[in-house]
Amino acid sequence: MAVKKVAVIGAGSWGTTLANLLAEKKHCQVYLWVREPELLHELQEKQENTWYLPGVKLCLSLKYSSDLQEVLHGANFFVLAVPTQYIRTILSEVRDCFPFEPIIICASKGIEIKYLKPLSEVITEVLGDKSPVYASLSGPSFAKEVSQKLPTAVSLGCSREDVGREAQQLFSTTYFRVYYNSDYRGVELGGALKNVIALAAGISDGLGFGHDARAGLITRGLAEMSRLGVALGAKERTFMGLSGLGDLVLTCTGDLSRNRQVGLRLGKGEKLSDIINSMRMVAEGVKTTEAVYLLARKLGVEMPITKQIYEILYQNKDPRTAVQELMERSLKEE
């Protein structure tokens, strides 16, 4: 198999994990873009990302650079792993560095707040005349566990089957199993929307409401995710898969989930600003909640859990009042 150059944009925990996974495959030459000069120096000196992925020794063949043009030059695949709200700006600055029909594999999870767009649309808008081929890699996967080579299964959504199958082969290993799905919109939305419900589950647990409440939030949260997904052109069944239900369960129950941790702390009475300021890594669900709330209103999609989480985050609503209002809504048919 010919050696492929892979450009990974973003040296957070997930970007570093994916770059290392690919670098360990002999047919991949992997370049990781590192924004912070101090982190770049540390990676080059220690071969370890102590900021975002401490304790994991990285592959010696993995290359690092703060020059994004160098990272992108000559790449066959482009992996995006930066916070959602920065993607448009970053791509706009280097759009001329991309070839025609670049294969963009998005590992970020979120919805752009400014224009209320999923990432596939953001990328298509910025790189439109390049005719980008978009894929979304999503599913129940904590960076720490993947970096420890624990068994993990995820989805890769791509409308072009030939590209999707090639990317599926690119990422698959003996411990990282990738399923191809033609519904890229469903895959990307599942990864974004589940973070809102994870905040809700964390808040519920922080309030001490128990397993029943959490299970109810997961189940009704999945219904909300599916409703909005279908309204945006996704297939309902995709939300029953790894990128929907699978990622939702993981993020709502796993203590490595940043969004769940934010919710837990909110439920225990901490202020959102204090929580965010204490975190080095981004909890995508906080900003995604605002985008999803506004998008649901625009489309006329009922999302009662999302509405309450938005009011907790952005209108200082008391979490107990929010739960009470959810429980006292008019009765429905499931």
Active site residues: 194
Is residue 118 within a helix (H) or strand (E), and if so which, with residue range?
strand 117-118
Burial 104-118 (b: 16+ CB within 10 A, else e): bbbbbbbbbbeebbb
d(CA 213, CA 216): 5
Backbone φ and ψ for 142, nearest 5 degrees, come out as -85, 130
- Burial class of residue 255 (count of CB atoms within 10 Å of its CB; 0-12, 13-18, 19+): exposed
Q: Kindly give the residue spans of alpha helices, DSSP state H, lying in the chain.
A: 13-23, 37-46, 68-72, 87-93, 119-126, 143-147, 161-171, 184-206, 210-231, 247-253, 258-267, 272-277, 284-299, 304-314, 319-327
Q: Do residues 135 and 162 make contact, with C-beta atoms less than 8 angstroms apart? A: no
Would you state the structure tokens that stand for residue 5, as one six-digit string?
């150059």
Determine how β-strand 176-181 pairs with β-strand 152-158.
parallel
Q: Do residues 52 and 81 make contact, with C-beta atoms less than 8 angstroms apart? A: no
Q: Do residues 9 and 33 make contact, with C-beta atoms less than 8 angstroms apart? A: yes
